[in-house]
A = this chain, B = another copy of it.
């Protein structure tokens, strides 16, 4: 019909496995972002990808493996979007953190559809070791990114030394909380407000306004440095 009336066009295209896997991952993310948990279905995902249902069990060991792959893909993309521009500014830690915040609260990161998808992953984490492993990997990368940015700030002159780990926990929680609230109710406040709250938090940290986060030995010590060793909690 589309090509010609005499030559029947092929009913489907054979794709290399990697390309098909990627397409299925994209379809999974699209389906989850549209429908939330309702979208987590072999039939819906395959329909979204324009292929038949059986392809999922052909290219993945099951729906769980596909979801884990989709989780990993989305996490990596979101992380890179805020980390890469921030880590590029090596000279000015405060500006780098501001870039990190701005990217984290950019409109594309605040899309409620992304939050819907994320909720599905969160809800699956307690039941699936595979999902839990993905989350741990993503969490570790976020930790090293944030601790790198904070440690650069700490070694700046005039900055009151602070405990790196707990500071990262607090800042990470503040960002997550702002992101959750904005995703659940985009009208509750402006994304710029979220950025300024994070900027303020970092400034207060640098000024030593958080007593419980102050490092004991003010000058040297460097109680903890970001590390890649597996001992990170």
Contacts and interface: CB of A to CB of B under 8 A. Distances in A.
A176 B181 CA distance: 9
B172 A177 contact: yes
A230 to B, nearest CB: 14
Given A169-B181, A204-B210, A36 B126 contact: yes
Interface string A183-209: 011011100011011011101100101
Q: Number of copies of this chain in the oligomer?
A: 2
Contacts of A125: 184
Contact of A122 (B178, B184, B188, B204): B184
Contacts of A116: 123, 126
A212 interface: yes
Given A174-B174, A197-B173, A213-B200, A188 B233 contact: yes
A53 interface: no
Contacts of A189: 166, 169, 233
B126 A123 contact: no
Nearest to A166: B193
A161 to B, nearest CB: 15
B174 A173 contact: yes
A36 B194 CA distance: 30
A180 B180 contact: yes
A127 interface: yes
A201 to B, nearest CB: 7
Interface string A142-165: 000000000000000000000000
A24 B156 CA distance: 58
Interface in A56-87: none
A218 interface: no
A110 interface: no
Contact of A211 (B112, B184, B200): B200
Counting chain B CB atoms within 10 Å of each CB, the highest count among A125, A204, A213 belongs to: A204
A44 interface: no
A23 interface: no
A207 to B, nearest CB: 6
7 smallest CB-CB distances across A and B, nearest first, come from A177-B177, A173-B177, A209-B209, A176-B177, A204-B209, A200-B210, A196-B212
